[in-house]
Structure 1
């Protein structure tokens, strides 16, 4: 195999004989003589994608997976600037903290949002977080979309981050969201089980598809029915990108106010963003094992929508 130039982008489809291999071992064979540690750094930096998604080094490959190697590393944000922004801390101890993220706040730096993110605020609040995890996502265990409000879990040291990431993978961290959807959901409760992958017509979006997808499961329960809407309690069992929004759209009840997966002709007075709020986190403490149950009430803008006459 000839050596790749540093500007080359290479794609490989995993065959049946290679299925089951760890991602880092597979890529190391492709990029020999790079060390396994060097390959793991590439994976951590986002220079290796599986089906256009970032995966962990230990991800088990499946036949048909497309592995993309970006030989030139993306520029890494090595010094995220701390910035004193409003930050609501719901819980904190020596090992972790939980933030009630405001709608409109981006979680970590990205083009156009280098200094106004949750990470900037966290570094101003706790500078030592800079040493936890990767440079632009220090301490982050999971993420929320910009316009989704609610609870976000942050590790305060590397041991806690490793433990929480393992709990997330083992599905021991339970997240409950409140979502107002368009239409009256007839079932009192149910489960949506449908694989999610990139939309082949628009690679920026996710969709229910059997092509290069991953299993996804979402449980829902009706909290309240309105004239033309339903308030749901939603618990994603898996953690795919945009999972709740994609699954609810797939069964015909999109999240109200969703500019991407919602109904373009739907307008609800007073609603200026998607009605999706991360309301509850339940998890074992990563050090003590004690069960933590944390809650964040609906923010004022969403509560006001529920109280409007137009909804009733």
Structure 2
């Protein structure tokens, strides 16, 4: 028996069932259906006017504020009414429950839940750990050891210096008396000097031994405190891990046929084997879970960002985004079982019917104009690519063929070689950054300034590949020169010269607020999808590896 669905919001005026799409949209790569856009517009209007709760989304540009991902799911209730559900990712306004939004799959904030008790245990350990780490006894033991180590080093160094000085003085005495004393007396002098040397060496050894014993005692004293700290940290780690695992077990997700799996079971099949933090808290799983529990038939869904972008990611206010892959793909892979879902468009070859235009060719190399939406090299699911077509066209060519790559969605000049030696020489030029490349891009937005350089280090988004994020800690250096070459309305045409060649570098540097703050038109990852990504590699210059002559080629484009 299904429960009542208080969070179901019917469309007004009603939507006829005939207007519904036949299948649920593929959540990881699809444009929102008009019904999802309508639901999102209603939710956005509510976010702009509601007064039931307060949250700073950072509009406009508030420091320290951050936006939030929201989702809508168009559904049909048992009575045949069409409406929608709304959800937010994570918490909002320090709450898991807000009017008009579906609840979490599992509420870790419930007062009578085990999480609160476990949290109190962890907090108690944290308090003990903090008290011990800040205790005067630990500080005194640590300082006593430091002081003793300094004093030991000083005294031992002084003793060694005295020993060296005494050795020099003995040598002077020996040399001074060598010709003055009779042989017997000189032998007695040498024996006395030797005894003096041995005595001083024993004195140094005694000093070192005494300090070693004293330092060992001080280290043992310090170890009694640091050992307790280590034990408490290990207890906290074990308790936190057990608590987190128990929490994950409470996140139990249904599929369309009522089969249930928890997070540890779902992620056991992934490369990471364990769920990442925050798994199950995104909008899409919340929406589907609520729909299944309340007998609502999912129709179409969409997620959008509302508010200020995070510092590292690129999220534009009001833009729609696919579900994240790191957290949501394994969960939705289970939850969508039993539903009729559109096929994954990424499994379809977008280069069907497209051809490669040869710009230049000789016995050693080949320069082609790659159309947009064609892979440079075979992908995981699609083999058709520039490489494969070149291999078929030049079956006797040796070497890797491809010298550099362009993103599938980027069009323009791509350099290939027909033999290993040419490939090696051109790769060396790329490595030395002596190959010059210029791109042209149409940006969605008005760019401030006329030219400049962007330095934003990049790394892959581990939770949402293939997206890239800006990361000053682990990112690789990424630098791009740019210059405005035209403006029309709210769009800007620019030239881009990549100094480095990071994945999605030009796309991120264009879209990020620390870059040009204007995504490339048609960028489905960092902007808004369109008929094509308006990014084109229009010019390349290099030294021909055979003739040693400087050459340059240009293929203009009209977006």
TM-score by length of 1: 0.63
Deviations 1:108-129 (A, max 9, x none): 1123212x22122112221123
Counterpart for residue 372 of structure 2: 103
SS at match of 1:167: helix
Counterpart for residue 127 of structure 1: 395
Is 1:246 aligned to residue 502 of structure 2? no
5 Å-filtered alignment, 1:254-269, equals 254-262=519-527, 264=528
User: C-alpha displacement at 1:87, in angstroms?
Assistant: 2.2
CA distance in 2, matches of 1:105, 1:194: 27
Pick one of 206, 209, 223 that aligns with 2:468: 206
5 Å-filtered alignment, 1:1-312, equals 86-114=355-383, 116-129=384-397, 131-133=398-400, 139-250=401-512, 251=515, 252-262=517-527, 264=528, 271-298=530-557, 303=558, 305=559
- For structure 1, the 5+ residue unaligned runs are 1-8, 10-82, 134-138, 306-312
CA distance in 1, matches of 2:470, 2:552: 31
CA distance in 2, matches of 1:122, 1:231: 32
Q: Which has the larger radius of gyration?
A: 2
- Residues 86 and 121, structure 1, Cα contact 8 Å, conserved in 2: no
CA distance in 1, matches of 2:415, 2:357: 12
Deviations 1:245-298 (A, max 9, x none): 011112211111100011x4xx7xxx5011100100011111222111101120
* Number of corresponding residues: 207
Q: 1:203/1:106 Cα in 2 relative to 1: closer, same or farther (>3 Å)?
A: closer
Q: 1:165/1:84 Cα in 2 relative to 1: closer, same or farther (>3 Å)?
A: farther
- Residues 84 and 124, structure 1, Cα contact 8 Å, conserved in 2: no
Please identify which structure carries the higher helix content. Answer: 2
- Residues 354 and 371, structure 2, Cα contact 8 Å, conserved in 1: no
CA distance in 2, matches of 1:233, 1:297: 12
CA distance in 1, matches of 2:368, 2:484: 26
Q: 1:124/1:84 Cα in 2 relative to 1: closer, same or farther (>3 Å)?
A: farther
CA distance in 2, matches of 1:198, 1:104: 21
- Residues 372 and 533, structure 2, Cα contact 8 Å, conserved in 1: no
- For structure 2, the 5+ residue unaligned runs are 1-270, 272-351
- Residues 141 and 154, structure 1, Cα contact 8 Å, conserved in 2: yes
* Higher mean displacement: 230-239 or 103-112: 103-112
CA distance in 2, matches of 1:224, 1:196: 28
Deviations 1:65-121 (A, max 9, x none): xxxxxxxxxxxxxxxxxx99732110111211101001121121123212x221221
RMSD of aligned residue pairs (Cα, Å): 2.1
CA distance in 2, matches of 1:200, 1:109: 22
